[in-house]
Amino acid sequence: MITSVKRKVLDGLNRRYIYAARLAAKFNSHYAERPAFRARSEGSNDFMIEIQDFDKHKPSAVGEVGNEKGLPPFDFERLTRFMSYGFFMAPLQFQWFGFLSRAFPLTKVNPTLPVMKRVAFDQLIFAPFGLCCFFTYMTIAEGGGKRALTQKFRDVYLPTLKANFVLWPAVQILNFRVVPIQFQIPFVSSVGIAWTAYLSLTNSAETID
């Protein structure tokens, strides 16, 4: 009984030893072909790990170390510029929406007409003004001068204004007709997330060109 137990234990240890030996041999073979990490000892207390070059014949996958086509680093300065622009424009938007609600109050008889007047005033007055503020602020914040500002208005202002007329009239009709005034800014800001992404791409694309 005891002999059979010892034999089973020894067989198990042998199998594990053989497996570990094979694993070590495979690692040594791979290490010899692609030395990614190499450790060396200097003195009695210092231990140093040197990172060797990866195999240049086999390109790294997307997201791995050494891949030059991965995602670019996050631009915190760009985020700061957009946040500061939002803090600057939010009070103006609040005052503007308050003015529209006072100038064109909704009536129970015909609420559609005041809504259309609000949308017309918003798109014909505030939308061009807002885009003008956006491109001016971003150009100055990026360190651009009068020439860069003139080029940006010449290249991207009118296409962006046309895109604004495609999206925002429908959004503002819903906003002025259904959403209470205290929730109009949050509603517009929610839709503005996608619009801000579009503005960011437009602004950066023009800068790269």
pLDDT, averaged per 10 consecutive residues of the chain (209 residues), comes to 57 54 56 49 44 44 46 75 86 90 87 91 94 92 89 91 93 88 85 87 67
User: Which pTM does this prediction carry?
Assistant: 0.58
Whole-number pLDDT of residue 15: 57
Distance CA 156, CA 150 (A): 10
Gyration radius (Cα) of the chain, Å: 32
Distance CA 32, CA 55 (A): 12
Distance CA 40, CA 104 (A): 79
Whole-number pLDDT of residue 29: 61
Q: At what angle do helices 76-103 and 127-141 cross, to 10 degrees?
A: 160
